[in-house]
Structures are given as structure tokens and as C-alpha cells.
Amino acid sequence: MEVQVESRNVEIRKSWSEKIEEEKERLTRHHPGLVHHLRVTIEGTTHHKTGGFELRVVASVPNDTVVVKRKGETLPPLLVDAFDTLGLQLKELQRKRRQTVKVQESISGSGEGVIKRIFPGEAYGFIATPQGQEIYFHENALKDLTLDQVAEGDSVKFGEGDGDKGACAIWVKVVR
């Protein structure tokens, strides 16, 4: 992991550099290979009310950037807090990515079809599959859309399940 430490209006102390290195090692231990680049910016503020320091930690991860900002009177506690928060955000990012992979795996094992009929007043519709089957779906099964945003003839992918009266879509994603 590449680390860049910058300062504005303040000289970086050796103890701060050591603390940054210690926190970087902890990040590397808990999230190996996730962070490609880490930039720590320490700014000494002269504002009469806040005083102290402004700290910004920016972590570049694949397809994303995580930013943590902190303000305070003394820097070492700010560093610990910022890196703890960064660690939590990275953990959450990894959790979301695992969840996305699971959804994509389920999408790849799903059916495909075209929206055949929509009943907006009753909040449901039917999907026609290439095999000629009609699959019921409820508005709640739509991913990232409402029934108003879907039209007859839209291509969709869906996850099939068993309903009270036969096959139904447990989720529906429009393919654009």
C-alpha cells in the first residue's frame, strides 16, 4: 500500500508519522490487499473557535474511494478515531461487495423474459419467458424501480419462486 502524508500550516512530528505508520499496519492486517493508496492530510487551523487540526484520510480501494474527516485540538486521538472509522467503513464496503456478489450469482442463475402485462391499480404484472411461460410478479419484487417506471415489452431478469397459484418472480430487474 502506497502512503502519502501531507501537511498544511504545520510541521509533521515524528510521533505523528509513527502513529500513521502504526495505523496503516493495522489497516493492512485487517484488510489485506484492499487499500491501494492511502493519503493522510494534516492541516493546522488558526480559526479562533476551532483551533487545532483538521485531518483527512483518503483511501483508494478498487472502484471506490473512502474519505474520513476529523477536527480537533490534539492530533493523536484524531488519528486513532479517523483510522478506526476508516476501518469500519472498509468493513462495511467489503460486506456490501460480498452481498453484491451473492445477488449477481443469483442473477446469473435466473430467468429472463419480457414484461407482458402490467396492472398498476393492483400493483402486479406478468413476465413472458422465451419458453412461453407466464410468471407473476408483484411491485415489491422490482429492484430499484417502481411499477410506474416499467413498461410492457421491457426485457427483464428475474428470480423464480413458488407462489400460491404457481410460479412467481421473487425479484425482477429491468435490463436496459
> Mean pLDDT throughout 67-74?
93
pLDDT at 128 (0 to 100): 94
**pLDDT confidence of residue 106:** 54
Q: Give the three cell numbers for residue 67.
A: 474519505
pLDDT value of residue 27: 92
- Please tell me the predicted confidence (pLDDT) of residue 108: 46
Q: How far is CA 48 from each of CA 31, 45, 70, 74, 138, rounded to the nearest angstrom?
A: 39, 9, 17, 15, 58
Q: What percent of the chain has pLDDT over 70?
A: 91
In this structure, of 29-33, 91-95, 102-106, 115-119, the range with the lowest mean pLDDT score is 102-106
The domain total for the chain is 2
- pLDDT, residue 155, reads 94
Which one of 88, 106, 124 terminates a domain? 106
Parent domain of 56: 2-106
For residues 25 and 64, state if they share a domain: yes
Residue 161: how many other CB atoms lie within 10 Å: 12
| Overall average pLDDT of the 58-77 stretch | 92
Domain containing residue 141: CATH number: 2.40.50.140
